[in-house]
Amino acid sequence: MSLARWRYRIPQWLRRVFRVRDIERDLDDEIRDHVESQTAANIANGMPPHAARRAALVAFGGVERVKDESRDVRRVPFVEGFANLRHAARALRRAPAYTLACVATIALAVGAGSTVFTLVDTVLLRPLPYPESDRLVGLWHTFPGIGLMLVGQAEGTYLSYRSATQSFESIGAYGGGVATVEVPGSSRSPDRLNVSWVTASLFQTLKAHPIVGRLFNDADERGDAHLVAVLSEPFWRTHFNADPNVAGHTLRVDGINTEILGVLPASFSFPRSDVGVWVTFTVPRIPYLGSFYFRAVGRLRPGVTPEAARAELQRILMRVAERYPEQRAGVSTAEALRKAHAEVVLRRLRDDAIGSVARNLWLVAGVVALLGFVALGNIASLTLARVEARQRELAVRVTLGASRMRVWWILASESAIVSIAGGVVGTLLGSTALTLLGRLGPTSMPDPIAGGDSQTIIPRLVEVHPDAVFVATAIVLTAAFCVVATSIGAWRLASADAARLVREGGRAGTGSRGTQRTRSVLVAADVALSFVLLAGTGVLARSLIRLSAIRPGFDTENVLTFGTSAPPWIYVSGVQVRQFYRRALEAAQQIDGVESAAFITKLPLAGWWGALPIFADDAALTGGGMPPITGVSYVGGEYFATMRIPIVTGRSFLDEGFDRGNNEAVVSRAFSKLYWNDPTGARALGKRIRSDVNGPWYTIVGIVGDVRDTALTSPPPAKVYFPGEGRNMFFAVRTRGAVPRLARSLERAIHSVDPSAPFSDVHPMAELVSNAGIRLRFILLLLGVGAIATLTLGVVGLYGVVAYVVGFRAREIGIRIALGLQPNRAVTMIVRQGFVVIGTGVVVGILAFVGFSKLLRAVAFDVSVVDAASLALAAGVVLAISMIATWAPARRAGRIDPAEALKSD
């Protein structure tokens, strides 16, 4: 189109849009001018005046048709829609059921779709919130020879890699734990919070920048001067009121004065989102390889592949033995590494951060996609039914001269109104859902060593919020619904022949064979998808039942747990710490209603997994190499009685573990089986074990039952209990029945021993166990909601379609009844036709489910996914509900009064 034409066209469009009234008046005036001129000419030719006028009008043709054609000519694409919106809004007000069903369906689909897409995008697709994060990799080792699939770094490996690597720009080390943090001179009581210790190079590796002050430098890392710390933004806000001059203030971390250097931005999160304070980590230069107790992350040089970097680190690892010939006294490093089949493992930091959640999220995304398809099908069938119901109205419009284009615009405007209304409601729902999801709690980097991240619902959840991607997705989805609704209407319109419409009008009955087939396909698809979701929910529900049926190996009923710490500025020596815990234990035991109490370094299903190599006084396993690494906990009090962990053979520790002279140990049944292939424990009893080749031997005095220590879904690991305590311990307290205000009493008991001791992490043991299945529960919740929503949509669609069919066929059915058809036969006829469609849907659903089952298998726990009984149950539910949705409107067929039906045209 040439430019010159636009010069005329655009002002005319603008006029068309903003001066509609002027245009209409001009049109009227122009036509009137013509008719009057013609009348005058006719009179001049000798006609009588009113005959002259009539002749002029006849010669002119249909005035309204000419006006309409003229309007069509002037139609402005897209913008023209606004003129029709008012008309469409009026039409929709007259059809509240249709409007409500459409808006609700679209709101549900847009809300769910944009929320889940944002979730998937933020958690799975977007790079981690560190600059050039694709070059970040985690540095790990695997020792398959001694049964250790993944461990982090030891002093020797870390220092060797750092000094020798060419592949990495920088490597940083980190670890974390809980510490008591106190602001001197503040009225706040000391906090127990997550603290991460990091090397100065870690912040360089992640390219972190402070918002206040500075981060660590190499001098800080050497630890020559005093200790230094960097604060998280929330901690800085709550404890220092966001003081911009916070640098230089002092903080007490586990009683040690620490200088604050700076503050990291709120967006920085590593390795957990709820770290309050980062302190320096000095990797000690020791004369042997050391133990693999901390983690490292490195930034690859640009262009270096992880494979090349891995090969380089592997070469360095093989030379490590030259630098550290001896791995602890008497054990050769070379021999230990050889026996362990030691290999370097590099994992992209993103994969570590996401963990195993990807398959869960894709499952949810799949569910929402199905929901979306059902919603699209619903909108299509509702719109189809509406266009059919309006056949007569549309036919009248076309007869009166409305162009097909104009009718299409009316339908398009209606679709636009319901889509936009649904889209807005959906966006509001979705942004609320995302905001709530973002608050679902702190997330830690899934710990690949502990073998599970099932305790975190979804990693990176703190990054989730309604953002541009969310809004864009909502808009795209809304547009998709609008397009589907409009094109279904347009298609129906195009396939309808105006002449036939006029002839048949509302009598067309059930519409053409084509649309009837389309409707049947849509209903069958709805039924099939509802079935898939319901069956999937069934699988997950059975998984959850299996999960809750798992016996963790201890009794969670009436056990409360909490954490505390012996303040290091008061309790300095090991003996003093022991005294603190003995007194704390006694104070707890004296509380009314407390049956027994105990403390331990790590509660089952919570906390960091502590493990050591265990040497046994048994030639079979102690050689030159490293024995298996076994979970080790230090306990005090009546731990086994409190947790009701059964004693299989032997006994528990003497004097609640405070008698340290006899060097006693208790091992689990799995340990006994691993070392002596003896689950009864009879052979293990009396054997001697130790974790340090130079340390004293401990005699096994008892064998106890196995406990699921790391995750509910992992088999119970081998476990060794030594009597003892560290600075930080967790208490477990068993009560006789429910004791009111127990937590308060326990806090008072701890503070009676030392008022500056922290009291934190108060959880019923049952809660720790249920947290272990929180991911599965969350997915089940989403899937269940999805299935119910889909089924509801399917039922709405089905009900609507059957109701319309009955309405259309009222005349036909009326004639049949008049000719002698039993009214209940009419109902049966409609229901039978519905049944064929629904049955097809269920069959297709079963086939689809088998295809879908692979996705499900990834999250299902200990159940078969394709299971005849549960498929039958799901099929039964879908069939029953669908039949009700068919039967309810079909009953109307039986009540059709033949006289009424025949008269009504």
By the criterion CB under 8 A, which residues form the site for other proteins? Answer: 2, 4-9, 12, 26, 29-31, 33-34, 36-38, 40-41, 59-63, 65-66, 69-70, 72-74
Structure tokens at 2: 């040439």
Distance in angstroms (rounded) separating the CA atoms of residues 731 and 602: 9
Measured from the CB atom, the residue of 16 and 816 that comes closer to other proteins is: 16
- In the complex, the smallest distance separating the C-beta of residue 33 from other proteins, rounded to whole angstroms, is 5
Among the listed residues 608, 605, 664, the one whose alpha carbon sits nearest the alpha carbon of residue 636: 664
Measured from the CB atom, the residue of 59 and 572 that comes closer to other proteins is: 59
- In the complex, the smallest distance separating the C-beta of residue 382 from other proteins, rounded to whole angstroms, is 34
- In the complex, the smallest distance separating the C-beta of residue 390 from other proteins, rounded to whole angstroms, is 24
- In the complex, the smallest distance separating the C-beta of residue 68 from other proteins, rounded to whole angstroms, is 9
Measured from the CB atom, the residue of 70 and 163 that comes closer to other proteins is: 70
Pairing verdict, β 559-565 and 611-613: unpaired
- In the complex, the smallest distance separating the C-beta of residue 376 from other proteins, rounded to whole angstroms, is 37
Measured from the CB atom, the residue of 52 and 159 that comes closer to other proteins is: 52
Measured from the CB atom, the residue of 60 and 697 that comes closer to other proteins is: 60
Measured from the CB atom, the residue of 69 and 900 that comes closer to other proteins is: 69
Among the listed residues 494, 389, 446, 398, the one whose alpha carbon sits nearest the alpha carbon of residue 94: 389
Structure tokens at 851: 């295809």
Cβ count near 196 (within 10 Å):
21
Measured from the CB atom, the residue of 30 and 351 that comes closer to other proteins is: 30
Q: Are 705 and 553 in contact (CB under 8 A)?
A: yes
How many Cα atoms within 13 Å fall on the side-chain side of residue 673? 13
- In the complex, the smallest distance separating the C-beta of residue 404 from other proteins, rounded to whole angstroms, is 13
Query: ∠ CA(42), CA(45), CA(51), 5° rounding?
Result: 40
- In the complex, the smallest distance separating the C-beta of residue 83 from other proteins, rounded to whole angstroms, is 16
Measured from the CB atom, the residue of 12 and 257 that comes closer to other proteins is: 12
Measured from the CB atom, the residue of 3 and 620 that comes closer to other proteins is: 3
Tell me the DSSP string of 113-179.
HHHHHHHHIIIIISPPSSTTGGGEEEEEEEEGGGTEEEE-B-HHHHHHHHHH-SSEEEEEEEEEEEE
- Where do the DSSP E strands lie in 573-628? 594-600, 611-613, 615-616
Measured from the CB atom, the residue of 38 and 356 that comes closer to other proteins is: 38
> Cα-flanking dihedrals φ and ψ of residue 683, to 5°?
-80, -25
Measured from the CB atom, the residue of 74 and 517 that comes closer to other proteins is: 74
- In the complex, the smallest distance separating the C-beta of residue 5 from other proteins, rounded to whole angstroms, is 4
Distance in angstroms (rounded) separating the CA atoms of residues 337 and 448: 21
DSSP SS3 for 347 = strand
DSSP SS3 for 576 = helix
- In the complex, the smallest distance separating the C-beta of residue 81 from other proteins, rounded to whole angstroms, is 18
- In the complex, the smallest distance separating the C-beta of residue 8 from other proteins, rounded to whole angstroms, is 3
Distance in angstroms (rounded) separating the CA atoms of residues 772 and 450: 13
Measured from the CB atom, the residue of 74 and 359 that comes closer to other proteins is: 74
Cβ count near 88 (within 10 Å):
20
Query: ∠ CA(675), CA(680), CA(681), 5° rounding?
Result: 50
Cis, bond preceding 758 (omega within 30 deg of 0): no
Helix or strand run (H / E) with residue 298: strand 295-300
Residue 452: CB partners within 8 Å, gap ≥ 6?
446, 710, 711, 713, 714
Q: Using CB atoms within 10 A of its CB, is residue 905 exposed (0-12), middle (13-18) or buried (19+)?
A: exposed
Q: Are 131 and 273 in contact (CB under 8 A)?
A: no
Calculate the alpha carbon distances from 381 to 525, 826, 827 in Å.
Answer: 11, 23, 22
The b-or-e profile of 279-307 (16+ CB within 10 A means b, else e) is bbbebeeeebbbbbebbbbbbbeeebeee
Residue 156: CB partners within 8 Å, gap ≥ 6?
286, 288, 289, 290, 320, 323, 324, 333
- In the complex, the smallest distance separating the C-beta of residue 494 from other proteins, rounded to whole angstroms, is 19
- In the complex, the smallest distance separating the C-beta of residue 122 from other proteins, rounded to whole angstroms, is 49
Q: Tokens 């369906």 label which residue?
A: 105
Measured from the CB atom, the residue of 12 and 822 that comes closer to other proteins is: 12
Measured from the CB atom, the residue of 57 and 829 that comes closer to other proteins is: 57
Helix or strand run (H / E) with residue 650: strand 647-650
- In the complex, the smallest distance separating the C-beta of residue 45 from other proteins, rounded to whole angstroms, is 12
Calculate the alpha carbon distances from 685 to 648, 666, 698 in Å.
Answer: 11, 9, 11
Calculate the alpha carbon distances from 205 to 32, 135, 199, 209, 266 in Å.
Answer: 82, 10, 10, 11, 18
- In the complex, the smallest distance separating the C-beta of residue 477 from other proteins, rounded to whole angstroms, is 36
Q: Are 738 and 562 in contact (CB under 8 A)?
A: no
Structure tokens at 233: 């933004």
DSSP 716: P
> Cα-flanking dihedrals φ and ψ of residue 149, to 5°?
-80, -35
Q: Tokens 């001179």 label which residue?
A: 185
- In the complex, the smallest distance separating the C-beta of residue 30 from other proteins, rounded to whole angstroms, is 5
Measured from the CB atom, the residue of 16 and 162 that comes closer to other proteins is: 16
Measured from the CB atom, the residue of 12 and 238 that comes closer to other proteins is: 12
Measured from the CB atom, the residue of 59 and 545 that comes closer to other proteins is: 59
- In the complex, the smallest distance separating the C-beta of residue 501 from other proteins, rounded to whole angstroms, is 16
- In the complex, the smallest distance separating the C-beta of residue 35 from other proteins, rounded to whole angstroms, is 9
